[in-house]
Structure formats: structure tokens, C-alpha cells
């Protein structure tokens, strides 16, 4: 499916009183989808009046000044993705908070939180959300353990009407990623030693062929290398969102 990019530079809302974030806006059959790259592995989606935060952490911005959340998705338990101070700054009484079992093991008395495992599907209003695996095979710690263990982390596929968006979480180019279908917009992590090399991102993208590919969680990785690797793939548009 061809998706319609409305803007190439997202003009932030007045709600962003202190900071501006790079992003894009898309037309979907469910409404206008605004995507903001807060930094590192942290994103925000807005669909009309709904606000969805992904992996909100205070190290990326002051969440006391951010829009309140209708939904919060946390991919895994590492401190650059799970931050209860950020969550508590944007949660409302009715906010749904989705986490992995491993996240919940590390928290006590934090209010209502929903556990979602690899393979689970949930509905948030008309938005279908599927949790998919996110893990390492190749990259390991000096101890020999992988940085991200299979079953502990989630990626998420969010379906906004006719538009499917992948937020892969911290993962490599695992079979579960490469076997995805009909992804319109994809966020794939790209930094060593924790997630993917540019070559791994390109390999995954060639397999499931998203219409638009955003590398994120890219640290100091040279994003130009990914652009070069995929320059012949005319049906995959690589877009680089800038860190603030």
C-alpha cells in the first residue's frame, strides 16, 4: 500500500513548550498520524486527539512538559526504555500502560499496568496492536550473554486504519522481523553493540519491505551508510529523523 506523507518536517504542537522534535505526518484511513522522534528509542504518535508514547524516558526530554498519554507502550526493562518517573508525569487516571512481564518484575506498587507478551494482540479503541519478539542472536556481552534475551522484550506493530507501523524495540534482524508482512512504516534500531548494524537493518528491510524506513536508537552510527545500502531499493524510502 502507498502511504501519503503530508509533511517532510513535522511542525510541533504548542504543547511542546520547551522543545521541538523532528517527525513526519501521514494520512491514514483512521485519521492524520503525527510521528515525533523524541530521541534514542523514544517516540510519540498522535492520531487526531489520541496520544501514544513509546518508551518515554526523562533522559530524552522533560516529560512534565509533554502531552498526557492515552496509551504508553514499553518495549523492555532496560533503563533507557523503562522510566517510571517519565510514565508518572504523563499518565492520567484512564491511561493504559502496556509492558512486558520482565518490566513488571522490576516494579512495585506502580498502579495498574497491563502485561503483554510476544504474540499477544490487544485493541486500543480502533487501533490493533501486536507484540512481536525483540532479541539478540549475534551481539553479546563479554560474559557471553546476549544483550537482549528472547522472550523478555517486545516490538510492537500498530495498525492505524489501513496503515501498519512497526516499532521494533531492541532487536537484531531476527526471523520474526524479517517475516513481517504489509508494514508501511518501520522503526528499526541501529547501534552497536546492542542492536543492529546498518547491514542488518538493510537485510531486514529487504525482507519485509516497508514503504518508509526510519532507523532509530542509532547512537553515533553513521546513518548515511544505511541510505547507501538501500539506495537501489526504490520501493523503500529511508528517512532520517534528527536527534534534538
How buried is 46 (Cβ within 10 angstroms: 0-12 exposed, 13-18 middle, 19+ buried)? buried
136-181 pLDDT, tens per residue? 887 667 777 777 889 999 999 999 999 999 999 999 999 999 999 9
What per-residue confidence (pLDDT) applies to 58?
Answer: 96
2-29 pLDDT, tens per residue? 566 776 554 444 444 446 899 999 999 9
- pLDDT confidence band for 77 (50 / 70 / 90): confident
Q: Which domains does the chain have, with CATH numbers?
A: 22-238 (3.60.15.10)
Nearest of 237, 195, 188, 242 to residue 216 by alpha carbon: 188
Nearest of 222, 231, 236 to residue 185 by alpha carbon: 236
Q: For residue 26, what is the enclosing H or E element?
A: strand 22-28
Amino acid at each position: 500500500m502507498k502511504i501519503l506523507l503530508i509533511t517532510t518536517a513535522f511542525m510541533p504542537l504548542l504543547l511542546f513548550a520547551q522543545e521541538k522534535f523532528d517527525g513526519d505526518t501521514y494520512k491514514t484511513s483512521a485519521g492524520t498520524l503525527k510521528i515525533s522522534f523524541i530521541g534514542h528509542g523514544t517516540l510519540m504518535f498522535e492520531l487526531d486527539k489520541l496520544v501514544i508514547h513509546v518508551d518515554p524516558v526523562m533522559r530524552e526530554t522533560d516529560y512534565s512538559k509533554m502531552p498526557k498519554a492515552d496509551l504508553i507502550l514499553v518495549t523492555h526493562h532496560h533503563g533507557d526504555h523503562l522510566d517510571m518517573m517519565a510514565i508518572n508525569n504523563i499518565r492520567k487516571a484512564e491511561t493504559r500502560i502496556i509492558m512486558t512481564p520482565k518490566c513488571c518484575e522490576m516494579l512495585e506498587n506502580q498502579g495498574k499496568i497491563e502485561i503483554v507478551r510476544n504474540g499477544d494482540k490487544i485493541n486500543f479503541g480502533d487501533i490493533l496492536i501486536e507484540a512481536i519478539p525483540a532479541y539478540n542472536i549475534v551481539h553479546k556481552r563479554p560474559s557471553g550473554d546476549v544483550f537482549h534475551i528472547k522472550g523478555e522484550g517486545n516490538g510492537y506493530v500498530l495498525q492505524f486504519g489501513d496503515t501498519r507501523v512497526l516499532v521494533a524495540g531492541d532487536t537484531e534482524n531476527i526471523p520474526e522481523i524479517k517475516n513481517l508482512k504489509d508494514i508501511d512504516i518501520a522503526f528499526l534500531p541501529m547501534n552497536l553493540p546492542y542492536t543492529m548494524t546498518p547491514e542488518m537493518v538493510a537485510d531486514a528491510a529487504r525482507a519485509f519491505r516497508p514503504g518508509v524506513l526510519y532507523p532509530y536508537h542509532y547512537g553515533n552510527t553513521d546513518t548515511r551508510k544505511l541510505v547507501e545500502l538501500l539506495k537501489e531499493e526504490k520501493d523503500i524510502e529511508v528517512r532520517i529523523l534528527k536527534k534534538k
